[in-house]
Amino acid sequence: MPAEPYYLGDNPSKPVPFDGVITASHYVVPLFATMDWDQVPREKVVENIAGLQDPGGNLNDEIMMYIHVPYCKSFCHYCNFNRFHYPKQDSERLEKYTDYLIKEIDWYMRQPYVQARKFTGIYIGGGSPSTLPTSAIERLSSHLAKVIPNYDSIEKSFTGEPRTLRRPGLLEVLRDQGWDRITFGVETLNPEIHRKIGRLDTREDVDAIFDRMRDLNYKADTCVDMMYDLPGQSLFGFQDELTELVDSYDPTEIDLFTTIYLPYRPLHKMILDGRVAQPGSPWQLLAMREHLYDFLSEKGYHNTIAETWSKRNERSQYQTAHCARQDIIGIGCAARGNVKDMVSINPEKVDDWQKNVDEHGASTETLQSIGYEGVLDRIMVMFPRYKHLDKSLLGDFGEKVDSEVFERVLNVIDGHLENGTVEDEGDHFRVTKLGVIWHGNLQTDYLRHALNTEGEVLIEHLTEAKEDFDREDRFGINEQTTFIKENDDLYPKLMK
Ligand SMILES: C[S@@+](CC[C@H](N)C(=O)[O-])C[C@H]1O[C@@H](n2cnc3c(N)ncnc32)[C@H](O)[C@@H]1O
Ligand code: SF4
């Protein structure tokens, strides 16, 4: 039986406490990336790196490493991860990609500002790093063990997709090299929906990973990605899937992503063409979130951060870093990093990335300060994911940023306090259960970038849709797409 509804109830006309807050369902999002930074001239990058070396400057004493591998065996219809460049895959290219990862790692490891810090974790993500040859993964891992002084004691996460992760020999190498978090996508246990969203791996692949890990006595955390609000997925179907996932595999961590429909990915087009079913209404989406909150809490999972539900009642280092509370060095094409108020994004094309590594050591072309306003933006956008905001941290910005910007942030917080999505707990603000259910929407409220305008557009539509409950196709992808097309000049460009 689904848990007792907490806010939504059976009656969709029951008022939800969001009127007046710029809140939108993450549904069709014209642009996936919310923070893009312009390239800066090479001299500026060099100057900024030199500025980082000054220990009297903005040094943080902890750092982690993110390594990006942009290859997958096939491309899922919904996915946007480094979408432009899934280069031809042969073992020579993949070994060469690994050589360049090692080159870029070595460049960073020679920098005094990196040497002065303590590593807290390494995350190899993508894409699907499990597509690299096992020999390349072994080479990369042993290299990391050699150059990172505390390699043995830090958190190490490895991303795979089930088809390639299960292949003979790989899990042994990962175990022997100390990777203690293995993360991979399952997305849905409904075979029909699974096929429709373009996943070519099978349930058998997933079984094989869990079986193999057990046979190898490999104790790494298993972190499974799932998606909901998928085309044709009903609330009850989703509830069954979640029960089955926990009963069959009992993963350490479940990352439950609301499906983001991106206009330039095939899934969105297939829905518009009627080849794939519409997902349900936003109200069903919220009911799914409410169910997963209740169900996973009951099963002993903790919502440590954003969409992550973990048996461990603490955040992983990766999640802490990802939410911008810790510095990250980004290695590999399209990798992102940040060091205090500096952001770096590596070139998206493998060839450009390799050329930069050859010519400059670090491939970034964007290393620049985002300034106090940028840091405040990042903290606020990430606050709903992080769920906790110290008032002292916020207070520091009162004098440092433009008072109008700071005022706007306080107004958004007031709106959320009034609506019960955020609670004032003395020295900090905390995102409530209702806020967690709406966290994607809360994030939209804090964005000052392009997406914010789109958020405002979407809320108008959401408000209209709220008055229109009885229609079968209420707030479907088609209608929302039409609405965005008419109201957003970004959309036609993306559709080309
Ligand atoms: C790097 S992959 C996970 C590992 C591996 N590549 C795989 O797919 O098995 C990233 C994850 O992000 C999520 N994701 C990607 N595109 C998404 C979208 N449009 N909406 C929601 N979640 C998405 C999926 O859960 C996906 O598994
Ligand atoms: S395998 Fe993972 S990263 Fe690759 S396209 Fe599919 S979801 Fe995206």
Q: How far, CA to CA in Å, does 455 sit from each of 126, 227, 279, 283, 462?
A: 28, 22, 20, 17, 10
What value, to the nearest 5°, has the Cα angle with vertex 458 and ends 265 and 34? 55
| Ligand 2 contact, 186 CB (< 6 A) | no
Range of the domain at 441: 371-496
Q: Give the residue, by CA position, lying nearest to ligand 1 atom 26.
A: 185
Write the pLDDT tens digit of every residue in 239-274. Answer: 999 999 999 999 999 999 988 887 778 898 898 888
Which amino acids bring their CB within 6 angstroms of ligand 1? 72, 78-81, 125-126, 128, 159, 161, 184-185, 187, 225, 227, 257, 259-260, 262
Residues 309 and 431 in one domain: no
Name the one residue in this structure whose structure tokens are 């990973």.
209
- Is 31 domain-assigned? no
pLDDT tens-place string over residues 370-401: 888 888 888 888 888 888 999 988 888 888 88
Percent of the chain past pLDDT 90, that is, above it, reads: 45
Amino acid identity, position 15: P
Please tell me which residue, 411 or 149, carries the higher pLDDT value: 149
Average pLDDT taken over every residue of the chain: 82
pLDDT band at 23 (very low <50, low <70, confident <90, very high): very low
Q: How far is the CA of 201 from the centre of ligand 2 (A)?
A: 11
- Tell me the residue length of the chain: 496
pLDDT tens column, 132-163: 999 999 999 999 999 999 999 999 999 999 99
Domain match, 134 and 279 both: yes
Which of 293, 324, 355 represents a domain boundary (last residue)?
A: 324
Residue 175 has pLDDT above 70, yes or no: yes
Q: Can you read off the two tokens belonging to residue 493?
A: 């460009």
Closest atom of ligand 2 to 198 CA is: 6
* Distance of alpha carbon 317 from alpha carbon 437, whole angstroms: 24
pLDDT of residue 395: 85
Same domain (yes/no): 303, 441: no
Which atom of ligand 2 is nearest the CA belonging to 126?
3
Pair (317, 405) in one structural domain: no
pLDDT of residue 1: 31
> Which amino acid is it at 166?
R
CATH of the domain at 105: 3.20.20.70
Same structural domain for residues 309 and 388? Answer: no
Asked whether residue 152 falls in the same domain as residue 245, the answer is yes
In a shared domain, residues 299 and 380: no
Please check whether residue 190 lies inside any domain of the structure.
yes
Residue 64 has pLDDT above 60, yes or no: yes
pLDDT score for 268: 86
